[in-house]
Amino acid sequence: MTTLTLDIDIDQVSALIRETAEAEILPRFQRLDAADIRHKSGPQDLVTAADLAAEERLSRALRAHLPGSTVVGEEGVFADPGQLGRLRGQGAIWIVDPIDGTTNFTEGRPDFTVIVGLVQDGAIVAGWIHDVLAGETVVAARGSGAWIGGRRLSVLAPAPFERMTGAVYVGAKRAPQLHERAKALRPLMAARSYLRSAGAEYLALVRGVSHYALFTRLMPWDHVAGYLIHAEAGGFAACLGGAAYRPWPIEGALLLAPDRATWDALAERFTAA
């Protein structure tokens, strides 16, 4: 699988992402100075010189790869929140998270990724998640499966709740009732994944590590690519309540599961009074 709609070459985009990581991110890993790190909205919301350089380089390369396209990146939106409005428009839009898991990156820990999604006229058509330290890129084009190199990926088979590994990111302030319900379910849960990176959690879902994930912070650069990759690997996902996920900022919670029946069972558990 090398090409997809819009004259995009999946492998070439993967190469652009890898080159950006090798030029702007890896050389700064475990070598950041204090001046290279800044706080944005709070103590856990960080941006580094690597984030900024990677987003600038990758955005330039992606626009050149697809003339007429635009880029909506996490750091660009922080500087100009009005850019988010582009996501509801027409045309080809790249959605970029230059380093997902910036806290891990600043602490010199693994589990940080580069995430790129491609939206055409409001529909997600392709996604890339690059594991920077492993040098591996998981890719998906709509209708063509999810792949890492020449290997097609698939989600884990369903299992009883007490035997499934899950990632649960439910903020107490953002979703207080859901947060309390998740706390009540903890004694019944098997191993939980907490990688502090949405991109890393999506990789766990398609690498055979985790069965399900639940998120309440639904910024598009965290989820657009992973949502498509998970679906192309055979999984089922929707917002709690059943609404379809959309590639722009939305309220609520996104639940990802191996199939629809498992999603229904998990949704019932997490929303039970």
- CB of 63 within 8 A of CB of 70? yes
pLDDT of residue 17: 98
pLDDT at residue 40, rounded to an integer: 85
The half-sphere exposure of 140 on its side-chain side, counting CA atoms within 13 A, is 29
- What the block records as the tokens of 196 is 């502090």
Beta sheet of 166-169, edge-to-edge order: 166-169, 212-215, 254-257, 236-239
- In angstroms, the CA 105 to CA 114 distance is 11
Residues 6+ apart with CB under 8 A from 14: 128, 130, 137, 139
Give one DSSP letter per residue of 170-224, joined into a string.
--TTT-HHHHHHHHHHGGG---B---S-HHHHHHHHHTTS-SEEEES---HHHHH
SS3 251: coil
Assign residue 208 a region (left: φ > 0; alpha: ψ between -120 and 50; beta: otherwise): left
Give the domains, in start order, of the chain with CATH numbers: 3-152 (3.30.540.10), 161-271 (3.40.190.80)
Supply the DSSP symbol for 259: S
For the four alpha carbons of 185, 45, 116 and 11, in that order, the dihedral sign comes to negative
Q: Report the pLDDT value the prediction gives residue 179, as an integer from 0 to 100.
A: 96
**Structure token digits, residue 183:** 């706390």
Give every CB contact of residue 210 below 8 A, 6+ residues apart in sequence: 156, 165, 166, 167, 193, 201, 204
Q: How far apart are CA 272 and CA 110, in angstroms?
A: 35
What pTM was estimated for this model as a whole? 0.96
DSSP helix/strand/coil, 26: helix
pLDDT of residue 5: 54
Per-residue pLDDT of the chain (273 residues; tens, 9 = 90+): 433 457 899 999 999 999 999 999 999 999 999 999 999 877 778 999 999 999 999 999 999 999 999 999 999 999 999 999 999 999 999 999 999 999 999 999 999 999 999 999 999 999 999 999 999 999 999 999 999 999 999 999 999 999 999 999 999 999 999 999 999 999 999 889 999 999 999 999 999 999 999 999 999 999 999 999 999 999 999 999 999 999 998 999 999 999 999 999 999 999 986
Residue 184: its pLDDT value, please? 95
> Six-digit token pair at 130?
């690059």
* Whole-number pLDDT of residue 1: 40
Residue 99 and residue 131: Cα distance in Å, rounded?
10
**Is the CB of residue 120 less than 8 Å from the CB of residue 91?**
yes
Residues sharing a CB contact under 8 Å with residue 65, sequence separation 6 or more, in sequence order: 8, 9, 12, 13, 16
